Each structure stands twice: as C-alpha cells, then as structure tokens.
Amino acid sequence: MTFLLQLVVTGFALGMVYALIAIGFVIILKCSEAFNIAQGHFVMLGGYLAYTFLITFNLPIWISLILIIITAILIGLLIERLTLRPMVGQPVIAVVMMTVALSTVFEGLATLIWGGEYKAYHGVLPTVTLRLGELSIPSETTIGMIVSIVAVVILMILFRYTKIGLAMRATAEDEQVVQSAGIKVTTIYALSWGIACVVGAIGGIILGGVSGVMVGMAEIGLKAFAVVLLGGVNSIGGAIFAGITLGVLENVAAAYLDPMLPAGGGLANVFPFIIIVIVLIFRPHGLFGLAEIERV
C-alpha cells in the first residue's frame, strides 16, 4: 500500500508538470485556434538554458531563473512577431505547419549550441525534504511539484481576475468584438506566446533537474498534447485535472504493468498515446471541453 501511495504522490508531481506544459498549449489554442507543435521544444530550451546558466556560467539559482524567464519571454515575442504575425488571416493549418517548422529549427539550434548532448544539473536546485508518514518524496520531485503548483495558480489568477486575462479570454471568443473595444489583438497574441514559452521553459527546468536534458526531451510536448485532448482543448481546469490523472496513471502503469510485458517495459512511454486514441474515439472534445453542435 505504501508503494502505491508513493507512486500516486510522485505521479501527482509529474502530472502537475504535464499540466503546466499543457496550459501553454491551451493558451495558444484559445487565441489562435491552432496547436503549437513546438511547445515541447520550449521545454527542451528551458532545460538547456538552465544548464547553461547554472553549470556553464555558475550563476545562483534565483538569478538563473530570472534570466531564463526573460530569455523565454523574448523568444516567445520574437516567434510571434517574426513568424506568426505574418500568418494572421491564413488558414489554421498554415499556422500549425509554421510551428512544426519552428520545432525543427529549435532542434537544430540545440544541436548547434549544446551539441544535442545529454546535460545534467542534479543537486543544483534547492533541497527540500518532504515526508508524508512513511512516504518519502525526492527533493527534485518536491521542488518540481511546488513550482508547478505555484505557476499554475498564478496563471489561473491571471486569466480569471486580471484585465489582461479578461482580454485574452475575450480574444479567444471573438476577435472582431475585441478590436472594436480598442484592444490590440496582435498584443494579445504576443502575450500568449510569451506566456506559453515561459511555462514551457519552467517545465524544462523542473524536468531537467530530475532527469537531465537532451534533445529528446522535446517529446514531452506530445504527452502534454495528450493532456490537452483528455482535459478538453479549451479548458485550463481540464488540463490541470488531466495532467494529474495522466501522471498518476503513467507512474502506476510503469510500476505494475511494465513487468508483465514480455519485453520487460515500455508501456509508460506509449500510455499517453493510448489515451489520445481512446479520447478521440469516445469523447473527441475531452472530459471538460465544449462539444460544438452544428445545425443544418
């Protein structure tokens, strides 16, 4: 029983990271109605930037965090201004393909700058010991869970209780009405990409502290994609619930089901994609998404 609870708690921590990354998907989707395929690459860049500032430059954690956030904001703003703003008014598939191209560019840059090699900065993040009865949660996992929860709460407050959040939600509903109210839609787009890049980078810092950084880390974006589909593509609350659910189920599957397989494992890696198939078949709009009804 203790082992199962340990899996659930660590799965919850992993799920909060998934939820944080998935919120970046939802933000872009709400504003531009297009999936950002490059979201996982923001995670990879965040991990590599953390290695650069923490290990290469040997900067304190708080200074490194501020620099990473600033860099992520600048990257997000540049992406929106140089590559996506010219796509305004174009078909949604064109925007999606642009994010696919961006993901390839980011992989190339990571290989060019960091050699595409595995990098680690274990033991650099603050140490926090968390014990719940007989449960013992690793320090990196605890830090990741705390940071993810704080970041998600801040984003929820931003969207629900600030003028910026109201403008972003209004833009998602009707761009023309927002423009008639004097709100610049291009500014909202830039802000949404900046936030998406920041949450991705924070996820990269957390995951890099736990398991290290490599180019393959960008595949975490596909797991976050599964979270978005499960929770509902237009629901931030759904992304949080789905992220936690997927994190716990993935952890439990890796512990209990992998040993039963003839090859000895691998189910945890494909589990999110099994979820995608099931959701698309039985509930295409997700658990908390809004089903669109068209009357002819």
Residue 219 lies in a domain: yes
Contact (CB, 8 A) for 119 and 207: no
pLDDT digits (tens, 9 = 90+) for 241-274: 999 989 998 888 888 877 777 766 677 778 777 8
Q: Determine the structural domain holding residue 277 and report its residue range.
A: 2-282
In the chain the first and final C-alpha atoms are separated, in Å, by 54
Residue 296 lies in a domain: no
Residue-level pLDDT at 30: 78
Residue-level pLDDT at 295: 53
Residue 85 lies in a domain: yes
Residue 96 lies in a domain: yes
pLDDT digits (tens, 9 = 90+) for 164-207: 888 887 877 777 777 787 888 888 889 999 999 999 999 999 99
Residue 167 lies in a domain: yes
User: Looking at the chain, how many residues does it have?
Assistant: 296
Interatomic CA distance for residues 120 and 210, integer angstroms:
9
Interatomic CA distance for residues 237 and 147, integer angstroms:
18
Interatomic CA distance for residues 164 and 200, integer angstroms:
20
Residue-level pLDDT at 142: 85
| Mean pLDDT of the region 213-237 | 87
Residue-level pLDDT at 66: 95
CATH number at 252 reads: 1.10.3470
| Mean pLDDT of the region 270-295 | 74
Residue 243 lies in a domain: yes
Work out how many domains the chain is built from and give that number.
Answer: 1
Q: Which residue has the tokens 């927002």?
A: 178
Residue 291 lies in a domain: no
Residue-level pLDDT at 291: 61
Residue 293 lies in a domain: no
φ and ψ at residue 135, rounded to 5 degrees: -85, 140
